[in-house]
Amino acid sequence: MLCTMPAVIIETVNRDAPIVVVFEADLVDVIVDGRDFLSTVMQFGSPTASRTWLERLFGTAVLRYADRAWVTEDQDSRISVYDLAIQDHDVILAHSENKIVLGGRYRTRFVSAFMVRSPVPATRIVSAEQVAPGGYFLPEIEVSLHQALGR
């Protein structure tokens, strides 16, 4: 099954030349990129404060991983469970359908984030274009990492 994946690449030292590359990828080569949001919530969140947000943003399937992570205080175990969650097909699909703007670590703003096995063959590239200055806007954050952590 092929899916279309947009990616923003920053290519200058000043990080002022966003390039949007749209490409097709096999779904088996896709995992959730949870480094700016999901990882932190699974490591430091709580069932009371975080469960509803995770379900809304990553689907019901993510809850079995989060619940498993939250029953232990061992951060290595929590990270291992997170590593399984980001590879779960149901979590990937649910997150791809998310419409809520997230505010993650380092002031990132996104609706969904994925990593794709590389290299991406040139034949899979659909389009690539540099976004003109002022040609994009940062959407308002609808749920911040702090909200999802209950802080």
Each residue's pLDDT tens digit, 86-142 = 999 999 999 999 999 999 998 889 999 999 988 889 999 888 888 877 777 788 999
Q: How far apart are alpha carbons 144 and 149 in whole angstroms?
A: 9
Predicted structure pTM score: 0.86
Q: How distant, in Å, are the alpha carbons of 105, 106, 108, 124, 140 from that of 62? A: 20, 23, 22, 29, 25
| Residue 98 contacts residue 111 (beta carbons within 8 Å) | yes
Reported as type and span, the H/E element at residue 54 is helix 47-58
Domain boundaries, the chain: 2-149
3-state secondary structure of 93: helix
Region of 132 please: left (phi>0), alpha (psi -120 to 50) or beta. beta
